[in-house]
Structure 1
Amino acid sequence: MDWRAARFDWNHARAFLATAEEGSLSAAARALGITQPTLGRQVAALEQELGAVLFERVGRGLRLTPGGEALLGHLRAMGEAAGRFSLAAAGQSDSIAGRIRITTTHVYAAHLLPPVVIRLRAQHPGIEVEIVAENKPTDLLRREADIAIRNYASTQPELVVRKLRDDAGHFYATPAYLRSIGRPRNAAEMARGVFIGFPTPEMMAAALQARGYALTPAHFPITCENHLVQWEYVKQGAGIGLMTEAVGDAEPLVRRVLPRAAPIRFPMYLAAHRELHASRRMRVVFDALVAALARPPMDAPQP
């Protein structure tokens, strides 16, 4: 394989990197936002340019050949350099108009952000906001998003991180469901119910046991990665679920299970890349999020 003689096309390299990281053409196409046939043509074009087979099919997935493994490290380094260049270029922009991607959890995206985005767009109509609703962490350094609202503190030195406040959550259920199990009066009696949670019942049970709830993984017979879907099951009487105080108290279909119990508190952080934070658009959006979210919703200014 003559690397020096190869004609290089960055689109083909991106297709190769995405396929290598995702393990299949379909997953890589979704990650890049292009069709699978287009991605396949780009990978095939890179193989033709290099005169080498880069992938071999294994079942329904793909595996790198030795030649593909040799190429992967070089192109990853190039991809990281391209990302740093893009961040630096975006950081120099003095224009407010343009697109910005905000990532946060499903619940925050659906319930916390709408009034903030509406107010922001009323003040700056040129700003286009893309909401990336995802409970799993997104990589700001790879430009999967520009700003993240998270419940943990990012430790990467390239990020600007601002703690907004501590949020609070409670357990909720419908009145009918609480009657069906005999309304619990304390943490021990909560074990009479079933819970709706994430697909990690062992972790959830252990965390709640540390808070005095006598729960086991068997108490979580219904799980879903999407917190909004969990909430719908709670609202329709399938069991008990945890929700942020602002959302849960505003929902007329449910009640707090233990009204006088101390809330479960968790931090809320805002994170952005340092170079992006230097751009005017980034500063405007970042500052708007701080102003709107640094205080509990009942104290925040109305749109």
Structure 2
Amino acid sequence: MHKRMNWDAINFDWNQVRSFLATAEEGSFSAAARVLGQTQPTVGRQVAALEAALGVVLFERVGKSLNLTSTGAELLLHVREMADVANRISLTASGQSQSVDGLVKITASDMMSAYLLPPVLRQIRLAAPRLEIDLVAANEIRDIQRREADIAIRHVRPSQPDLIARLVAEDSASFYAATSYLERVGRPNNETELAKLDFVAFGEVEEIIGYLEPAGIPITEQNFRLGSKSGVVAWEMIRQGFGVGVMSDKVAELTPGIERVLPKREPFTFPIWLATHSELHTARRIRLVFDILAEYFSCGR
């Protein structure tokens, strides 16, 4: 049985608490270190120092895994409340700023970050040359409420109640392959012939199959010999002639040596949402960037 904490006697070191929270949510010191931008030994030392300060065991080490103890689970509830309060204070303070300088974090997929956002970043620099822009290229959804980003560009509508979300465009995507690949294997004339070709996976194969099968593409896991969770890497594999993939039509237009497969087929469509926290939107620098992005996408880039 783990020792129960005396909450009245606790004096927190917030860095230790952040390391505990990240470790509890990510499941390991190494994953927590990546989230916090620190080294694994630093995170481990901070968690150990917190355990020593409280006189309790927060994690059970089972091989390479970390499991919360009952005391750790109890502390986690309180720490999350503290983090929410701290984040709200930070959001409110940021929202009061009316200066067109400072840092704005924008998160988008790696493909959008690499291929589609550079032109609008030039517009932002012209409009506000003192702004600092941190472009977080990530295919997983970043948490605006926890300040991992100020503005998110997403293909699904954000569901959190405290977010401002605006549908700014409907984009399209189609099947593409390198001309060199199609000249080697032949150009398919229909979906059945397309399903006989190699595909390059961007993300989880099961999800791709689940999306394409209802669209009339009878592919299986055997179609996928190569893939990557990085869209930039997967697209380069396609460009190098390893197979077929689905890609934004606007990205494909920017890529030489690529051609559309089944060009008469109706493209896929997907939405583009901009999201920011309702309190952050009152900050002039974030509102300015949000509005420039919204105009850029709504005008068709």
- Same-fold status (TM-score > 0.5): yes
Pairwise mapping of residues 4-15 of structure 1 onto structure 2 (< 5 A)?
4-15=8-19
Contact 2:203 / 2:230 at 8 angstroms: preserved in 1? no
CA offset at residue 121 of structure 1? 1.4
Asked if 1:110 is matched to 2:114, the reply is yes
Give the Cα–Cα distance (whole angstroms) in 2 for the partners of residues 211 and 54 of structure 1: 49
What SS does structure 2 have at the residue aligned with 1:252?
A: coil
Equivalence for 1:176: 180
Asked if 1:142 is matched to 2:146, the reply is yes
Asked if 1:93 is matched to 2:75, the reply is no
Equivalence for 1:295: 299
Give the Cα–Cα distance (whole angstroms) in 2 for the partners of residues 183 and 203 of structure 1: 25
- In the alignment, which of 29, 32, 46 is matched to residue 36 of structure 2? 32
Equivalence for 2:233: 229
Give the Cα–Cα distance (whole angstroms) in 2 for the partners of residues 120 and 54 of structure 1: 46
* Structure 2 unpaired stretches of 5+: none
Contact 1:181 / 1:192 at 8 angstroms: preserved in 2? no
Give the Cα–Cα distance (whole angstroms) in 2 for the partners of residues 102 and 133 of structure 1: 8
- In the alignment, which of 271, 277, 285 is matched to residue 281 of structure 1? 285
Give the Cα–Cα distance (whole angstroms) in 1 for the partners of residues 122 and 253 of structure 2: 23
- Residue correspondences, number: 297
Contact 2:204 / 2:229 at 8 angstroms: preserved in 1? no
Give the TM-score taking structure 2 as reference length.
0.94
CA offset at residue 70 of structure 1? 1.7
Post-superposition Cα deviations, 1:254-277, rounded to whole Å, max 9, x if no partner, equal 111122221111111101110000
Give the Cα–Cα distance (whole angstroms) in 2 for the partners of residues 18 and 209 of structure 1: 38
Post-superposition Cα deviations, 1:162-203, rounded to whole Å, max 9, x if no partner, equal 111111111111222112222112222212211112342233
Q: How well do the aligned residues superpose, as a CA RMSD in angstroms?
A: 1.4
- AA matched with 1:171: F
- AA matched with 1:192: K
What SS does structure 2 have at the residue aligned with 1:139?
A: coil
Give the Cα–Cα distance (whole angstroms) in 1 for the partners of residues 210 and 24 of structure 2: 36
Distance 1:202 1:44, change over 3 A: closer
Equivalence for 1:161: 165
* Aligned-residue identity in percent: 47
* Structure 1 unpaired stretches of 5+: 298-303
Give the Cα–Cα distance (whole angstroms) in 1 for the partners of residues 32 and 63 of structure 2: 16
CA offset at residue 36 of structure 1? 2.5
Moved more, 30-39 or 89-98: 30-39
Moved more, 183-192 or 138-147: 183-192
- In the alignment, which of 74, 78, 82 is matched to residue 78 of structure 2? 74
Give the Cα–Cα distance (whole angstroms) in 2 for the partners of residues 188 and 287 of structure 1: 44
Equivalence for 1:187: 191
Give the Cα–Cα distance (whole angstroms) in 2 for the partners of residues 31 and 91 of structure 1: 24
